[in-house]
């Protein structure tokens, strides 16, 4: 910057040079002696032993080169000496011109441009020149977000302590004074962090108690994501054996051999840190053969047991029974019953029977059956001795017996839909079973055949 002082006497239009300075050196013109003892202090013109010839107009001219352009400013001052006595016109005069310099373009300096999450970082807004006071403001822009002003920050230094991943992005500062305002270019703060614990997703999505499931021959996609900067490198393992490198592992056609524990390992190459997550994947498959069904019955009973099985498969198949109207027969069964005491009364014309239940089941009442039991291979048909017995009852007295006949008894638990398994068969006063119970089934007896129509549907137990 250059400052030139000049003078025009009263009544004259001729501009006379007085002094000039460029900040590094200065010079006072010889003709300036007519004004007094002239000198320069920085950009101020100082006149001592002021002469009457100093009456007139002073001009201060500044030349400033900024941004490739020359800027010029002017200041006019008029000096008048009051009073008529020349002997009183002796004084010292200092003419000061304060030049307001515009701020230069700021520059952001980061103490660490690639810090690790958790350390301290200082951003400085540096301005080469500009007349104070200066005012600063800070702006932050994430890589995928809009620029935002950091409210409440007006200092040239911005301290991030501790720095975290939300601080990542571009930082720009603005500086202003009474003359102008300029903004810096952006400086990128690249915060290093991670990897976080990976998150694994499985498609198609099917949950089990301990992980995920998919059907055999289905395409299965396992994806892994762990927040990290720089981005994570991924490696997939199945039961400790490496199977893939990359964030996405695709099983084109799943088979039962793909069942296992899948682990995703995430690696941050900059920090050399690792994290991992594991999930269990189970491949479901159907049994190789069709279901097999059969019937069994107790000797002399009118009850039969229908059985089916469909071995193999994962998970095990669930079987359901349908009647001829395609209605489900899968009702809850009553609990099992056992006879705890059976004794004669009134000269063998009555019996007192007591029983107990065990195991779960739906219960609405009991049914007591009796039949004549003779020491031969043939036994009488079962008859109802008592029904509509309340579910809370556990004993019953039965009368009308013939003292000359040996009777056998059994008890069944009932609900609204079906009867449970018959209890063991007992005779009064003995603990010996008179006939084989239904817990020891054999092939159907030689009694009249019972025609039964059943339908079995079998499906894999997909959850």
SS (H, E, C) 82-124: CCCCHHHCCCCEEECCCCCCCCCCCEEEECCCCCECCCCEEEE
Burial letters 195-206, b for 16+ CB under 10 A, else e: beebebebeeeb
Q: Which CATH class is domain 291-463?
A: mainly beta
DSSP character string of 346-374: TTTTEEEEEEEEES----SEEEEEEEE--
The length of the chain in residues reads 463
Fold topology of 199-284: Immunoglobulin-like (2.60.40)
| 244: CB partners within 8 A, 6+ apart | 235, 236
pLDDT, residue 125, reads 95
SS3 165: helix
Tokens of 438: 């239904």
Tens of pLDDT along the chain (463 residues) come to: 788 899 998 888 888 999 998 877 889 998 898 888 998 887 788 888 888 888 888 888 888 776 677 777 777 777 765 544 443 344 455 555 556 778 899 999 999 999 999 999 999 999 988 888 899 999 999 988 888 888 678 899 999 999 999 999 999 999 999 889 999 999 999 999 999 999 999 999 899 888 999 999 999 999 999 999 999 999 999 999 999 999 999 999 999 999 999 999 999 999 999 999 999 999 999 888 888 888 876 545 556 667 788 888 888 887 777 777 777 666 667 788 999 999 998 888 999 999 999 877 778 899 999 998 765 445 678 899 998 899 999 999 999 999 888 899 999 998 877 777 888 999 987 443 333 333 333 333 333 343 444 454 555 554 4
ω before 133 within 30° of 0 (cis)?
yes
- Domain span(s) for CATH 2.60.40.10 in the chain: 107-189, 199-284, 291-463
Residues 350 and 398 sit within 8 Å (Cβ to Cβ): yes
Residue 396 phi/psi, 5-degree rounding, is -160, 140
- 264 sits in which H/E element: strand 260-268
pLDDT, residue 54, reads 86
Fold topology of 107-189: Immunoglobulin-like (2.60.40)
pTM score, whole prediction: 0.54
CATH number of 2-95, picked from 2.60.40, 1.10.3470, 2.60.120, 3.30.300 = 2.60.40
């Amino acid at each position: 910057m250059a400052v030139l002082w000049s003078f025009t006497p009263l009544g004259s239009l001729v501009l006379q040079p007085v002094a000039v300075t460029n900040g590094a050196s200065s010079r006072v013109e010889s003709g300036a002696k007519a004004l007094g003892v002239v000198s320069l202090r920085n950009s101020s013109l100082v006149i001592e032993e002021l002469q009457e010839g100093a009456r007139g107009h002073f001009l201060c001219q500044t030349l400033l080169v900024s941004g490739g352009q020359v800027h010029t400013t002017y200041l006019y001052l008029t000096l008048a000496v009051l009073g008529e006595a020349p002997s009183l016109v002796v004084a010292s005069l200092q003419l000061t011109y304060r030049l307001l310099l515009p701020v230069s373009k700021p520059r952001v300096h980061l103490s660490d441009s690639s810090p690790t999450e958790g350390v301290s970082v200082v951003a400085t807004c540096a301005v080469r020149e500009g007349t104070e006071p200066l005012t600063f403001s800070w702006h932050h822009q994430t890589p995928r977000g809009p620029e935002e002003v950091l409210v409440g920050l007006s200092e040239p230094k911005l301290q991030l302590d501790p720095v975290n991943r939300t601080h990542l992005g571009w930082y720009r500062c603005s500086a202003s004074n009474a003359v102008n305002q300029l903004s810096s270019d952006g400086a990128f703060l690249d915060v290093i962090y991670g990897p976080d614990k990976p998150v694994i997703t499985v498609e198609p999505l099917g949950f089990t108690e301990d992980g995920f499931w998919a059907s055999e021959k289905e395409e299965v996609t396992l994806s892994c994501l762990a927040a990290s900067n720089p981005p994570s490198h991924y490696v997939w393992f199945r039961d400790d054996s490496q199977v893939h490198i990359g964030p996405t592992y695709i099983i084109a056609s799943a088979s039962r051999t793909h069942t296992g524990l899948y682990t995703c390992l995430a690696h941050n190459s900059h920090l050399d840190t690792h994290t991992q997550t594991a999930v269990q994947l189970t491949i479901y498959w159907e049994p190789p053969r069709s279901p097999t069904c059969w019937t069994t019955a107790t000797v002399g009973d009118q009850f039969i047991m229908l059985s089916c099985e469909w071995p193999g498969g994962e998970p095990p198949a669930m079987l359901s029974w349908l009647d001829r109207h395609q209605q489900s027969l899968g009702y809850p069964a009553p609990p099992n019953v056992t006879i705890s005491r059976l004794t004669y009364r009134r000269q063998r014309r009555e019996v007192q029977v007591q029983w107990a239940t065990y195991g779960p089941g739906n219960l609405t009442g009991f049914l007591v059956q009796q039949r004549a039991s003779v020491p031969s291979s043939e036994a009488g048909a079962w008859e109802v001795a008592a029904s509509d017995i309340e579910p809370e009852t556990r004993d019953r007295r039965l009368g009308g017996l013939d003292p000359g006949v040996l009777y056998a008894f059994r008890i069944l638990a009932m609900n609204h839909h079906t009867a449970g398994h018959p209890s063991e068969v007992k005779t009064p006063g003995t603990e010996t079973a008179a006939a084989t119970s239904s817990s020891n089934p054999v092939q159907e007896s030689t009694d009249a055949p019972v025609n039964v129509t059943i339908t079995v549907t079998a499906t894999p137990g997909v959850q």
